[in-house]
Chain A
Amino acid sequence: GNSVTQMEGPVTLSEEAFLTINCTYTATGYPSLFWYVQYPGEGLQLLLKATKADDKGSNKGFEATYRKETTSFHLEKGSVQVSDSAVYFCALSDSGGYQKVTFGTGTKLQVIP
């Protein structure tokens, strides 16, 4: 079955540091890949997505590239801010029916001033 593996947290960074959160996946076919973000006390929000190999998703300074050869979708940001402190979830959805999404376990990011 489908699975998503992302790096354990928490990740603590100083403001303006470079961020990488690793994500790898196992899936049949050609899945779509997503990063969601969850701020404290809120539901998940879609941060970015990529729907085919070599696509780059980007939003709010965050980027991730769909790498089929390494089955990876690592999240990066060049300069994090305190407001980026949140939990980040990598997810995939395969091309099958019922539109189901498989989530990773989440990585908590804390950015300190």
Chain B
Amino acid sequence: DAGITQSPRHKVTETGTPVTLRCHQTENHRYMYWYRQDPGHGLRLIHYSYGVKDTDKGEVSDGYSVSRSKTEDFLLTLESATSSQTSVYFCAINEENKGHNEQFFGPGTRLTVL
């Protein structure tokens, strides 16, 4: 258990509203990731972080921003939610001591944008 929690677990919001999802880890891992999961697309990387205040874009970053002000928290923000952002969002960490980029995932947040 890599000690990853996500909040909220479910959220319904309206188009145009801002939304922030939180990922929290308890084991001081350096690397953290946000993915979205959609049918037919598998998991796609939105943003990732390699340390406090060190973040970079993934393959589907448009419409999303992230922040990491503490090692344990990685926030994903939808500045103005759109229906195309309805998805299941997963946070992951990389357990560096295991090597070979082995990632562990949180339980997910199901977001519905009406």
Report A's interface with B, CB cutoff 8 A: 32, 34, 42-46, 49, 51, 89, 93, 98-101, 103-106
Q: How far is the CA of A5 from the CA of B100 in the complex (A)?
A: 20
Please determine whether B41 and A105 come into contact, CB atoms closer than 8 angstroms: yes
A47 to B: closest C-beta gap in Å: 12
List chain B residues, Cβ under 8 A from A45: 105
Q: How far is the CA of A42 from the CA of B90 in the complex (A)?
A: 10
List chain B residues, Cβ under 8 A from A101: 101, 103
Q: Interface-forming stretch among B12-20, B42-50, B64-72?
A: B42-50
Please determine whether A46 and B104 come into contact, CB atoms closer than 8 angstroms: yes
Is B25 an interface position by the 8 A CB rule? no
Q: How far is the CA of A100 from the CA of B40 in the complex (A)?
A: 20
Please determine whether B100 and A104 come into contact, CB atoms closer than 8 angstroms: no
Q: How far is the CA of A26 from the CA of B92 in the complex (A)?
A: 23
Report the contact-size class of chain B (Cβ under 8 Å from the partner): 20 to 34
- A93 and B100 in contact, given A44-B105, A45-B105, A99-B31 (Cβ under 8 angstroms): yes
Please determine whether A105 and B40 come into contact, CB atoms closer than 8 angstroms: yes
Please determine whether A32 and B100 come into contact, CB atoms closer than 8 angstroms: yes
B37 to A: closest C-beta gap in Å: 8
Residues facing A in B31-81 (CB within 8 A) are 31, 33, 40-45, 48, 50, 56, 58
Q: For A32, A42, A93, A98, which residue has the most chain B Cβ atoms within 10 angstroms?
A: A98
Please determine whether B105 and A99 come into contact, CB atoms closer than 8 angstroms: no
List chain A residues, Cβ under 8 A from B106: 43
Return the 3 tightest CB-CB contacts between A and B, nearest first.
A93-B101, A43-B105, A105-B42
Please determine whether A98 and B31 come into contact, CB atoms closer than 8 angstroms: yes
Please determine whether B50 and A46 come into contact, CB atoms closer than 8 angstroms: no
The residue on A at minimum CB distance from B106 is A43
Q: How far is the CA of A94 from the CA of B16 in the complex (A)?
A: 37
